[in-house]
Amino acid sequence: MNREIHSWWSPSLHKHMEIAVYGHYGFALLMFPTAAADYLEYERFSLIDAIAQFIDSGKCKVFSINSINTESWMNSHMHPAHRAIRHQQYNEYVVNEVVPFIHHHCRGRVMTITSGASLGAWHAANILFRRPDLFDGVIAMSGTFDVKIYTDGYYDDNCYFNSPVDYLPNLNDDYYLPLLRQKRHIYIVSGQGAYEGPQHSRRLSEILAAKGIPHELDLWGHDIPHEWWTWHRMLPHYLGSRF
């Protein structure tokens, strides 16, 4: 498998940011880490190995990026307003730096699907719903989609516009909503076992359905926990059966 590590000084975040690339060809799969993890997490926990057949066959090329969750939503020492501001800077990094990097690496605009597990699922879904002009779908595994979980009761516009269960019901514009209604690769997936929260996926699905946004809600069994082996099964299933 072709494996590359790239990095640059991010003007959006004012820090050094790394990105791992796996594969040569195919649509771009942009992966967001879980919780406080980094750009190599999916390699360390063998999720890259689990989808190696799709990378090696040229179906997809994986771009695994770093997170700054410990500088934003997961930093209890920061005021929630500052957490939200820092996350907005991360959005700018993804849109203004990572997306152009993907296009350059792929020698043009290619279908770009976002994905992640746990907190990474929220990142992946949120960036798609915010910028459906740049992204073509999402595989969100075991996510929660309400940013208020991380704001300690604080709420402002930066929180609202990063909380899909809040802003999606009010989305009625003539640009972004029609783009979302054209998507054919929105997959909201969760187990129903230990430490999973399938109610979060159900709630998001209800909102998407009410807005006429095509998607698949897939709740796996009560024996499917919030664990790596779950995502080792989920992601290959969708890459193999939906693309």
pLDDT at 36: 81
pTM of the predicted protein model: 0.97
pLDDT at 27: 98
pLDDT at 222: 98
CA–CA gap between residue 142 and residue 200 (Å, rounded): 9
Cα 88 → chain centroid = 15
Report the amino acid identity of residue 121: A
Contacts 24+ apart (CB under 8 A), 149-156: 150/73, 150/74, 150/80, 150/83, 151/73, 151/80, 151/83, 151/84, 152/76, 152/80, 153/80, 154/79, 154/80, 154/81, 156/81, 156/84
Domains and CATH numbers, the chain: 3-242 (3.40.50.1820)
75: helix, coil or strand?
coil
132: helix, coil or strand?
coil
Token digits for 11?
Answer: 């003007």
CA–CA gap between residue 66 and residue 54 (Å, rounded): 22
Cα-only R_g, the chain: 17
Residues 6+ apart with CB under 8 A from 205: 188, 215, 217
pLDDT at 37: 87
Token digits for 138?
Answer: 């999402």
Show the low-confidence residues of the chain (pLDDT under 50).
Answer: none
Residues 6+ apart with CB under 8 A from 8: 16, 17, 97
Token digits for 210?
Answer: 């009410």
Token digits for 32?
Answer: 């967001």
Phi, psi of 160 (to 5 degrees): -55, -50
CA–CA gap between residue 196 and residue 221 (Å, rounded): 11
